[in-house]
């Protein structure tokens, strides 16, 4: 009852635009609010059972290995099991972990756990998540927590890292912006931790703050530029197109694959339409001083790589993506004008061509066709040529791909598919 009253009070405050909770389904009780926040935070994508099951407690038993530039790190069990989970934690302990990245015993957590974003959550939100996690059945599942190689296995080193790259602090709404914008800002910068993948990292794995959401390589993919830049960012996408992509895993321009397909499946496809719109509204707002995009010139059509690539494209790709590169909306993504194809880094295009790709699963959209793998039909030089071609045909412009880069991606996919 008390929880309901508090939730109702939060609802009224939200209507007045005084808290970032606006638009959350706040007429439910605390644990139900926590259940939704867990969706916003995509917790299951990392903490679920590595065998792929994620219903109920299975979404939180841990054991999945997260790839970082420093090695792999296994996620812990966050069900309320007293021995192997967080069953003995208090709400204070939980807030401290989410807000500061510190465990009850004082040990530092690694930022593979995105506490650098979760710190933006107000106490009421972490309490709600904690209440929800405590409604789950406790599951015994001990996880080896110390898999990082030396020297990264020294948790105390996070003290220095935090001093350099971490600014704890709850989200502060901007009173000059609409409640919708603030809600979007809260989700993107807080629980949604979009920058954890979309902001490029420095050599120590810290966010390059000056290139917020500018895109960067990630686990053998390239997380796209999410700024309003026209060629590689989402400046030409409408609010509706962004929301549709997040809800269905695709829109008329693009399809989510790899790590973004997981974000869609476990998080954005399950968000409310109002929240998806709020995210889109926030992303469409250019930051105050956006760096000017570097001018790009396409390779000329007579370039040998372009000629070889075009012949391969006509032979292998055109049947689906069409001669003009426009594709078939929501079936075969367009490559002409595509953001994914023109990113600074070529990881995603190389991976997709070598390995093929399957669409994101969303309960709102029928499954779309998959793309077959070409790794066994194209050698490194041909792979480089056809990807160079799609990056520079039809008005596209992006750095050429080399055979060496194709070979490296092939090797990486052999080790870690
Ligand atoms: C991108 C992957 C990722 C996401 C998303 C994620 N976590 Fe984690 N989480 C981790 C990893 C990895 C660790 C272990 C870090 C370490 O050992 O230093 C961790 C640790 C934790 C811990 C500390 C547990 C302990 O025993 O030390 C808690 C609590 C936690 N996560 C809760 C959450 C909640 C709640 C969410 C969603 C709001 C969430 N996590 C989302 C990867 C993730
Ligand atoms: C686990 C890493 C990860 C997280 C977290 C993540 N993304 Fe992504 N995102 C990616 C990758 C990788 C791609 C490229 C996917 C592809 O090429 O199919 C992508 C693509 C996108 C695209 C499509 C852009 C384009 O030009 O095609 C949008 C929009 C997007 N993400 C929005 C978001 C938002 C909003 C969030 C936070 C709620 C988010 N992402 C969180 C990894 C991530
Ligand atoms: C049988 C049909 C088919 C053929 C042939 C094909 N593709 Fe695809 N391609 C697809 C589908 C379907 C997707 C989207 C998969 C998804 O939903 O993630 C896709 C996705 C892509 C993407 C990612 C686009 C994005 O927005 O995420 C690229 C790049 C791409 N294909 C390039 C190529 C190239 C280059 C060739 C030829 C070597 C080729 N494709 C041949 C069907 C095909």
Query: Is 194 annotated to bind ligand?
Result: yes
> How many other C-beta atoms lie within 10 A of the C-beta of residue 70?
15
Same domain as 85, residue 110: yes
CATH code of residue 271: 1.10.760
Supply φ then ψ for residue 65, to 5 degrees. Answer: -100, 125
Integer Rg of the chain from CA: 22
Which residue in 33, 73, 40, 38 sits closest to 56, CA to CA? 38
From the first residue on, what is the mean pLDDT of each consecutive set of 10 residues in the chain (417 residues)? 38 40 56 96 97 94 92 95 98 98 95 97 97 96 87 85 92 96 98 97 90 93 94 94 96 92 96 98 77 79 94 97 94 94 97 92 81 96 98 96 98 91
Q: Ligand 3 mean position to 321 CA, how many Å? A: 7
Same domain as 254, residue 154: no
Q: Ligand 2 mean position to 251 CA, how many Å? A: 13
Predicted local confidence at residue 362, as pLDDT: 85
In terms of residues, how long is the chain?
A: 417
Q: Please give the C-alpha separations between residue 1 and each of 30, 35, 128, 402, in angstroms, as whole numbers.
A: 10, 18, 15, 64
Residue ranges of the alpha helices (H) in 101-238?
A: 115-118, 123-133, 157-165, 179-189, 195-198
> How many other C-beta atoms lie within 10 A of the C-beta of residue 286?
12
Predicted local confidence at residue 160, as pLDDT: 87
Residue owning the nearest CA to atom 2 of ligand 2: 197
The domain boundary, picked from 221, 249, 283, lies at: 283
Same domain as 161, residue 185: no
Same domain as 113, residue 33: yes
Ligand 3 near 320 CB (within 6 A): yes
Q: Please give the C-alpha separations between residue 214 and each of 20, 21, 124, 287, 406, in angstroms, as whole numbers.
A: 25, 27, 31, 11, 24
Predicted local confidence at residue 283, as pLDDT: 97
The domain boundary, picked from 109, 138, 165, lies at: 165
Domain assignment of residue 255, yes or no: yes
Domain assignment of residue 171, yes or no: no
CATH code of residue 344: 1.10.760.10
Residue owning the nearest CA to atom 24 of ligand 1: 76
Q: Is 11 exposed, middle or buried (0-12, 13-18, 19+ CB in 10 A)?
A: middle
Predicted local confidence at residue 122, as pLDDT: 97
The domain boundary, picked from 134, 165, 196, lies at: 165
Residue owning the nearest CA to atom 34 of ligand 2: 194
- How far, rounded to the nearest angstrom, does the alpha carbon of residue 62 sit from its chain's CA centroid? 19
Domain assignment of residue 290, yes or no: no
> How many other C-beta atoms lie within 10 A of the C-beta of residue 275?
26
Same domain as 130, residue 27: yes
Domain assignment of residue 327, yes or no: yes
Same domain as 254, residue 131: no
Same domain as 143, residue 11: yes
Domain assignment of residue 288, yes or no: no
Domain count, the chain: 3
Nearest listed ligand to the Cα of residue 333: 3
Question: Please, what's the b/e burial string for 373-383 (b: 16 or more CB within 10 A of its CB; e: otherwise)?
Answer: ebbeebebebb
Nearest listed ligand to the Cα of residue 354: 3
- Helix, strand, coil % in the chain, rounded to nearest 5: 40, 5, 55
Same domain as 279, residue 399: no
Domain that holds residue 411: 304-415
Kindly report the pTM of this predicted structure: 0.92
Domain assignment of residue 298, yes or no: no
């Amino acid at each position: 009852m008390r929880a309901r009253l508090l939730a109702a009070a939060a609802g009224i405050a939200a209507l007045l635009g005084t808290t970032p909770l606006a638009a959350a389904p706040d007429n439910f009780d605390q644990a139900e609010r926590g259940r939704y926040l867990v969706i916003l935070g995509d917790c299951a994508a990392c903490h679920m059972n590595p065998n792929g099951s994620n219903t109920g407690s299975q979404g939180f038993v841990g054991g999945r290995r997260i790839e970082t530039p420093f090695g792999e790190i296994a996620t812990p069990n966050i069900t309320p099991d007293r021995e192997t989970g967080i069953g003995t934690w208090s709400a204070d302990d939980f807030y401290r972990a989410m807000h500061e990245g510190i465990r009850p015993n004082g040990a530092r957590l690694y930022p593979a756990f995105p506490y650098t974003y979760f710190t933006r959550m107000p106490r009421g939100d972490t309490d709600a998540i904690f209440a929800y996690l405590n409604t789950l059945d406790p599951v015994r599942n001990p996880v080896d927590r110390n898999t990082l190689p030396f020297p990264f296995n020294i948790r105390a080193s996070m003290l220095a890292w935090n001093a350099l790259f971490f600014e704890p602090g709850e989200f502060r709404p901007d009173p000059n912006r609409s409640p919708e914008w603030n809600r979007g800002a809260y989700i993107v910068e807080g629980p949604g931790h979009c920058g954890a993948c979309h902001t490029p990292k420095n050599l120590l794995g810290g966010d390059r703050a000056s290139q917020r959401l500018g895109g960067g390589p990630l686990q053998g993919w390239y997380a796209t530029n999410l700024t309003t830049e026209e060629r590689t960012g989402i400046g030409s996408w409408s609010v509706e197109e962004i929301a549709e992509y997040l809800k269905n895993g695709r829109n008329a321009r693009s399809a989510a694959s790899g790590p973004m397909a997981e974000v869609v499946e476990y998080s954005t496809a399950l968000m409310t339409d109002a929240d998806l719109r709020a995210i889109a509204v926030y992303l469409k707002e250019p930051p105050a001083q956006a760096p000017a995009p570097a001018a790009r010139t396409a390779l000329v059509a007579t370039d040998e790589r372009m000629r070889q690539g075009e012949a391969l494209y006509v032979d292998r790709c055109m049947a689906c993506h069409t001669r003009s590169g426009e594709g078939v909306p929501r079936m075969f993504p367009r490559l002409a004008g595509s953001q994914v194809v023109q990113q600074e880094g070529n990881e995603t295009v190389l991976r997709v061509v070598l390995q093929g790709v399957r669409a994101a699963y969303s309960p709102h959209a029928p499954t779309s066709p998959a793309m077959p793998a070409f790794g066994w039909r194209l050698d490194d030089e041909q792979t480089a040529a056809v990807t160079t071609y799609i990056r520079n045909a039809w008005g596209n412009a992006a750095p050429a791909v080399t055979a060496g880069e194709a070979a490296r991606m092939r090797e990486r996919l052999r080790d870690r598919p």
